[in-house]
Amino acid sequence: MAGTVNKLQKWAGTLTPEDKSPTTAMGETPTAPTRASIRLTEGGPGDHRCRRPGQIQKQQQKRNNELTSELPHRKPRHLWTSHIHHLAPPHPMSPQDLPTQECGTALCLSVYVITFVLGFPANTLAFYTFCSKVRHKATPIDILLLNLTISDLLFLLFLPFKMQEAVNNMLWELPYPLCPLSGFIFYMTIYNSTFFLTAVSVERYLGVAFPIQHSLKRRPLYAVAASVFFWIFSFSHLSIVFIMPFIGTEDQPIQTGAEPNATTPPSHPEEVCYDNFSEAQLEVLLPVRLELCLVLFCIPFLICSFCYINFIRILSRLQHIDRRRRLRAIGMALGTLLVFAVCFGPYNVSHVVGFITWKNPQWRDKALLCSTFNACLDPLIFYFSSSAVRGTVGGVTGALKARLSTCLSCRTPKRSEDDSQSKQGQINAI
């Protein structure tokens, strides 16, 4: 009898509160089960005396499944941990977690450093040469190339700000007014280069196609007026960089360059420099970019291509020009077209793609990196375009060679004297 009571207590401990106190249809609580009823009840502790072991195991497994479905908190731990990332509540991302640029920090920083190291000395040398040339005898092409050099130097002077942004994982930690200013200089250099390179191509083409008429009407004042117009035209179009921060972003989701479909509240908009745009800003910015592509890139590129293709065709038919001069002129023309295609082409194509898809292309930042090489390639155009630059470069290289030979000649006698003294000491020791 005592064993039966212990089994009853053990069986009662496995029941839920609902199983311990069931109610009938009339709301009455039945009396305590008798020993016989316990034996006949399915799943009772005494049921193993009248059923097979296989049936007992199946009923126990069925009972465990029912308990697991009714009590989800009894589910094994590993079932929860395997789906914990689905059950965790979403949390807002901080500005540092938001993707800002598709290109990596190392790629951006390496491109900026290479551009600065190669471009700054070359453009400084070109600036000195053109200033000296313009003081003595100004020509239209020298004035145009001087303005192009000034534009490149402005870009290179503001390039350390972009380096610092790349070091900080594309987050802007400098005073925020420097952000639109550096962006303005960055973009203005691109379109200033297209204008001045196109003007140089027109100057070269007119000098070859219409030599007499062009020489009679060639005035430096025209080049000065064209340069002023180019600066004003670029400034007026790219002033959108200063206007964009004032377009309302209070109730608009922010779209990032690397994740166009991601939205986030416009909190801390100053963390990223000119990269996150709201829907209201994109409605203004994308049509302006398309206009920049058509007016400030496509039209100059077509003019430049027409001028240099005909320039090369005419030079190939002239027999009185020596081969070296012809190759130098063709190299200048091909170098200019290469700058247009490689440096400016991808960036302006991103404007068209962005207008069609109505969002920032994911590869736009890489296309913008290509335009930074313009500051390195422009000095090559200066070298082929101006005899003064070639003379300055030749003088600098000659001075460096002379200095290097002098240093080597100073070290050679010292080494010979040391060798003679060491030999004399060996003889004396013997």
Task: Determine the Cα–Cα distance for residues 373 and 193; give it in Å rounded to an integer.
Answer: 12
Q: Are 123 and 380 in contact (CB under 8 A)?
A: no
HSE at residue 212, side-chain half, CA atoms within 13 A, is: 0
Q: Give the SS3 label for residue 278.
A: strand
Alpha helices by DSSP H, 341-386: 345-357, 364-372, 374-385
pLDDT(8) > 60: no
Instruction: Indicate the range of 24-38, 168-182, 255-269, 409-423 predicted with least confidence.
Output: 255-269
Mean pLDDT of the region 26-40: 45
- The domains of the chain, with CATH numbers, are 105-389 (1.20.1070.10)
Alpha-helical runs (H) found in 71-177: 77-81, 84-87, 105-136, 140-167
CB 43 within 8 A of CB 5: no
Report the mean per-residue pLDDT for the chain.
74
Higher pLDDT, 197 or 40: 197
Instruction: Output the pLDDT for position 356.
Output: 92
State the pLDDT at residue 404. 81
Nearest to 214 by CA among 311, 136, 323, 325: 311
**Residue 334, CA distances (Å) to 330, 347, 380, 384 in order:** 6, 20, 11, 11
Segment 25-40 shows an average pLDDT of 44
Q: What is the C-alpha separation between 387 and 150, in angstroms, rounded? A: 19
Residue 341 scores a pLDDT above 50 = yes
pTM of the model: 0.67
- Burial profile 195-215: b = 16 or more Cβ within 10 angstroms, e = fewer: bbbbbbbbbbbbebeeeeeee
- Pairing outcome for strands 277-278 and 254-255: antiparallel
Supply the pLDDT for residue 171: 84
Confidence of residue 292 (pLDDT cuts 50, 70, 90): very high
> Would you place residue 290 in the very low, low, confident or very high pLDDT band (cuts 50, 70, 90)?
very high
Confidence of residue 366 (pLDDT cuts 50, 70, 90): confident
pLDDT score recorded for residue 32: 47
**Contacts of residue 122, Cβ cutoff 8 Å, sequence gap at least 6:** 376, 379
